[in-house]
Amino acid sequence: MRKTHVISVLALVAAAAGLTAAPAQAAADIHWGPVQSKAGHSGYAKADVWITDFTRETFVVRGKLYDRDRHAGHCAQVRARFHYAGGGYGWSRPRTTCAPKASFRLSSDGAIKRVDVRVCLYDKATRKTFTCHADAIKPSIIANWPQ
């Protein structure tokens, strides 16, 4: 039996059994835009934020994090608080960078109804955040955006 014939037969059997892989429809991520910490005495932290659709089971906040503070001991930090559809909330692990630019990805543990994206400056010596700013992102806000 020829190799191509065997592959064709296997493809027909898989199709009949419903095992064929349907093309994945990746919903386009939504560009929320920049979230910037309050200005400190010499700089700020900024995140360019992209989010997934609120209907997904696992919600993802991703983007680039920028450290715009001139002090060597100050870094940029981003964190998300996920408000779950079933009630309660949970914080993601913080992502910190002292580099001018770094990628980040934060994800929920289930379906959510709101996310708060918080960007801060981080002091390495004291291990504390300061000059923070948070954007509350809700489906109702995105629904009112022009298409």
Cα dihedral value 68, 69, 72, 73, nearest 10: -110
Q: How far apart are CA 74 and CA 39, in angstroms?
A: 13
What pTM did the predictor assign? 0.78
CATH number among 2.40.10, 2.60.40, 3.30.70, 3.10.110, domain 24-143: 2.60.40
Per-residue pLDDT tens digits for 26-45: 457 899 999 999 987 779 99
Q: Is beta strand 43-51 parallel, antiparallel or unpaired with respect to 30-36?
A: antiparallel
What is the phi-psi region of residue 92: left when phi exceeds 0, alpha when psi lies from -120 to 50, beta otherwise? beta
Cα dihedral value 20, 60, 111, 90, nearest 10: 140
User: Is residue 48 over pLDDT 60?
Assistant: yes
User: Is residue 112 over pLDDT 60?
Assistant: yes
Boundaries of every domain in the chain:
24-143
